[in-house]
Every structure is written in C-alpha cells, then in structure tokens.
Structure 1
Amino acid sequence: MPRTTPGAQPTLKSVLQTKEVMEKCDLAISKWMIDDSVPFNATNSAYYQPMIDALCSMGPGYKGPNYYRVRGHLLNKWVEDVKKHVNDFQSIWKKTGCTLMADGWTDRSRRTLINFLV
C-alpha cells in the first residue's frame, strides 16, 4: 500500500514518470536549439533559466510570441529597457568623464560578438 501522508517519499513509478517528463521536455528544447542553430552556450545565458521558469508558469497550451511580435513590439520594449539602463549610467559619466561604446560583428559561424568599451 503506497504512503499517502504529506511527507511520504515518492513512489518509484512517480519518480520514473518525472524523469520521463523531464527527458521529454529537455529533448523538445534541444531539438529547437539544434533545428534553429541556437548556440549551445545560450544555456549559460543569465536569461535562460528565467525564460524556462516563465514558460513553466504559463502552463500547457501557451503559444509563444510569433516572429512579428518578437521583432517588433518585444524588441522595441527591450531596446527601451536598455536605454533606461544606459541613462542610469549617463549621470555618472558627467562626473567620471567615461563614455560607453559598443562594436559588434558576426563571425563565419554566425556567432555574434559585441565589444563594449568604457
């Protein structure tokens, strides 16, 4: 008879099901990354786990933003956020005399590199 108390250990069946569900989810993410040439080091991004958490909080059936929403409204929103972040530093630049410059390029493997100079 399985334990039904709140602190009971999970059954072997539930543990295996959880591992199977995790494997299915991991496989779906990796298929997308491979199919769309998303660099594997994207999983090291500071935004990767928050994205996964946000997706999980939406539950099944969530339809992600389409091409036009990402390249339009969401990109503009992100640009506004970055501008606000830069504006926070601009007040300090008047005191320190520093300037922030960015230079970017893409290599043969289509990897983007952005250099920030202060």
Structure 2
Amino acid sequence: MTLKGMVNGTRHMLGRYVGKWFYDKGIPFDAANSPYFPPIVNAIQSAGPEVKPPTAYELSGPILDEEVEEVRNWIEEYKQSWPRTGITLMSDGWLNKVSIKEFHNFLA
C-alpha cells in the first residue's frame, strides 16, 4: 500500500470514529465547521495514544472552570475599551421549553 493510501485509510477511520461520536451524542454535523474542531484533532494527534481523554468530571468541573475564567478575563479586557469606543456588552438568554434548549444572545 502506498503512503497516500495509508493516509487516506487512516483519515477514513478517523472519520468513522468521529462520526460515531457525533451520531451517538446527537452532535450537529455543523459542529465540524467550528474553528475549534481542527485544533482538537491536532491536539489528539500530538498527544499520542498514551494520553487519556478528559473525563466527564474534568469537562464539567476544572476544565469548564478554566474556560469560564478565560471568558471572564476576555470580558474584563474588552471592558477597558468601552470608555474609548462607547460600546457595551449585553447578554440575553431564554429556555425553549419545547425542545429544552437554552438560547443566549450577546450584543455589543
């Protein structure tokens, strides 16, 4: 088998595993267009087989806490420009009780 054939075969298997995860969890296919999707694949490839994926606890606890802190820091940085630009950040959210989904709007 050629190198190109091996790469295509590996990519196909990657697609199958990613697809199974998307299908099992009902992840919208559009999530593959997220700018965060290619970096996660690259990070997994770089980490190698000995690195275990994060647990549900880690994702819902310490990792989520870090992401929240990052957003808070970004907002604080952004607030520094408000006196110069006259712009403020507002948010609004609601729950769609039919499909049990939360919606959030952020306005500047």
State TM-score, norm by structure 1. Answer: 0.78
Cα shift at 1:111: 5.9
Seen in structure 2, the aligned counterparts of structure 1 residues 29 and 83 have a Cα distance that, compared at 3 Å, is: same
Task: Give the stretch that moved more between structures: 92-101 or 20-29.
Answer: 92-101
Percentage identity across paired residues of the two chains: 33
1:50 to 2:67 alignment: no
Within 2, Cα distance between the matches of 1:38 and 1:60? 24
Structure 2: 5+ residue stretches without partners: none
Q: Which runs of 4+ in 1 moved over 3 A?
A: 104-113
CA deviations 1:12-60 (Å, max 9, x no partner) are: 5332222111101111001101101111111111111111111110112
**Gap regions ≥5 residues in structure 1:** 1-11
Shift of the alpha carbon at 1:97?
3.4
Q: What is the one-letter code of the residue matched to 2:23? A: I
Distance verdict in 2 for CA 1:63–1:91, change over 3 Å? same
Partner SS, residue 104 of structure 1 = strand
Question: Looking at CA atoms only, which structure, 1 or 2, has the larger radius of gyration?
Answer: 1
User: Deviations for 1:53-90, whole angstroms, at most 9, x for unmatched residues?
Assistant: 11110112321100110010000000111111111111
CA RMSD after TM alignment: 2.0
Q: Which moved more, 1:107-116 or 1:84-93?
A: 107-116
- For the residue of structure 1 that corresponds to 2:52, the secondary structure is coil
SS at match of 1:102: strand
